[in-house]
């Protein structure tokens, strides 16, 4: 589908690009991954499905991503969380299903925690794709090489080649240090809503053991874990997209 032009929300001086389609609740809120934008295959597929179903659909680009302002290297989990909460509070009405991909799953889990603290129980369900909560502490820090540690100390960042972009991924000291203030996997996670995790077993970036650890921390009567034997990190093949639409549709029905 062809997305409408974005609108822009000022969040602490940064212009955040937002696309919203009006529709029935429960609506769907898309939360993308690290260095992803809101016009990716999965987001566009869900936008098309939501339009056909008459469902509200909301998505945005974090600062330094896509059409939003700001510098990517200045971003942290706290920064992108604050932007996501601001967009959510400004543009949603009624019950919502959060769909978080990779880092977006971390943002989604943190959003639920912050919304519940504020007395907002509007999140009706979570769908988490190749979830990467706590990835800075769980996946990056344990694997740092001496050269990367030196770059973090001396330059404040290190760069890694990306399989998904011609530009390298930048990981900053600020991102890693801030990540420690946003950890969610240190104990039981009470989301107060059902959760469905989709995880590829051929994911080279986020191991399936990470999804299994996350699932074990969620209330067992409200979590579903679907393992996709040949699925990679993107989960953007036609069969993956079909499963995503089915899972989101089921979660929406549960939220009615």
Give the model's confidence band at 112: pLDDT under 50 very low, under 70 low, under 90 confident, else very high: very high
pLDDT of residue 44: 97
| Mean per-residue pLDDT, 206-216 | 97
| Beta carbons within 8 Å of 151's beta carbon, 6+ residues apart | 157, 158, 159
- Report whether 244 contacts 42 (CB < 8 A): yes
Q: How far is CA 203 from CA 33, 72, 155, in A?
A: 14, 24, 30
Mark 119-146 as b/e (b = at least 16 C-beta within 10 Å).
eeebbbbbbbbbbbbbbbbbebbeeeee
pLDDT digits (tens, 9 = 90+) for 133-150: 999 999 999 999 999 999
Residue 3 has pLDDT above 70, yes or no: no
- Tokens for 138? 């769980």
Q: Calculate the average pLDDT of the chain.
A: 95
- Tokens for 142? 């344990």
| Mean per-residue pLDDT, 28-42 | 97
Residue 160 has pLDDT above 90, yes or no: no
pLDDT of residue 161: 84
Residue 115 has pLDDT above 60, yes or no: yes
Report how far Cα 96 is from the mean position of its chain's Cα atoms: 15
How would you classify the pairing of strands 123-129 and 96-101? parallel
Residue 171 has pLDDT above 70, yes or no: yes
Cα dihedral sign for 87, 91, 97, 101? negative
Residue 67 has pLDDT above 50, yes or no: yes
Four-point Cα dihedral 210, 211, 213, 217, nearest 10: 140
Where do runs of H (alpha helix) occur along the chain?
41-53, 77-91, 103-117, 135, 146-154, 173-179, 208-217, 238-255
pLDDT of residue 166: 75
For 7-134+187-255, which CATH class? alpha beta
Angle of helix 41-53 relative to helix 238-255, nearest 10 degrees, comes to 50
Domain spans, the chain = 7-134+187-255
| Beta carbons within 8 Å of 210's beta carbon, 6+ residues apart | 131, 132, 138, 139
Burial class (CB in 10 A: 0-12, 13-18, 19+), 82: middle
The span from the CA of 30 to the CA of 60, in Å, is 8
Give the model's confidence band at 1: pLDDT under 50 very low, under 70 low, under 90 confident, else very high: very low
DSSP SS3 for 81: helix
Burial class (CB in 10 A: 0-12, 13-18, 19+), 239: exposed
| Beta carbons within 8 Å of 221's beta carbon, 6+ residues apart | none
The structure's pTM equals 0.96
- Tokens for 246? 């089915």
pLDDT of residue 65: 97
| Mean per-residue pLDDT, 220-230 | 93
Give the model's confidence band at 169: pLDDT under 50 very low, under 70 low, under 90 confident, else very high: confident
Give the model's confidence band at 2: pLDDT under 50 very low, under 70 low, under 90 confident, else very high: very low
Residue 179 has pLDDT above 80, yes or no: yes
Residue 220 has pLDDT above 90, yes or no: no
pLDDT of residue 165: 72
| Mean per-residue pLDDT, 20-47 | 97
């Amino acid at each position: 589908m062809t997305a409408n032009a974005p609108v822009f929300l000022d969040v602490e001086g940064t212009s955040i690009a937002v696309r919203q389609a009006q529709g029935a609740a429960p609506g769907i809120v898309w939360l993308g991954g690290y260095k992803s934008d809101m016009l990716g295959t999965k987001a566009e597929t869900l936008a098309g499905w939501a339009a056909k179903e008459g469902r509200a659909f909301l998505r945005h680009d974090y600062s330094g991503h896509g059409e939003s302002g700001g510098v990517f290297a200045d971003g942290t989990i706290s920064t992108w969380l604050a932007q996501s909460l601001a967009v959510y509070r400004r543009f949603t009405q009624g019950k919502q299903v959060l769909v978080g991909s990779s880092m977006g799953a971390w943002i989604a889990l943190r959003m639920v925690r912050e919304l519940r603290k504020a007395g907002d129980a509007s999140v009706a369900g979570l769908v988490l794709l190749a979830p990467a909560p706590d990835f800075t502490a769980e996946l990056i820090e344990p694997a740092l090489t001496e050269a990367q540690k030196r770059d973090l100390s001396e330059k404040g960042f290190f760069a890694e080649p990306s399989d998904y972009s011609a530009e390298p991924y930048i990981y900053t000291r600020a991102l890693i240090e801030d990540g420690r203030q946003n950890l969610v996997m240190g104990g039981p996670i009470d989301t107060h809503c059902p959760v469905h995790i989709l995880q590829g077993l051929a994911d080279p970036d986020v191991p399936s053991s990470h999804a299994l650890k996350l699932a074990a921390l969620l209330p067992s009567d409200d979590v579903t874990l679907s393992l996709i034997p040949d699925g990679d990190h993107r989960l953007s093949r036609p069969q993956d997209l079909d499963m995503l639409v089915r899972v989101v549709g089921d979660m929406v029905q549960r939220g009615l």
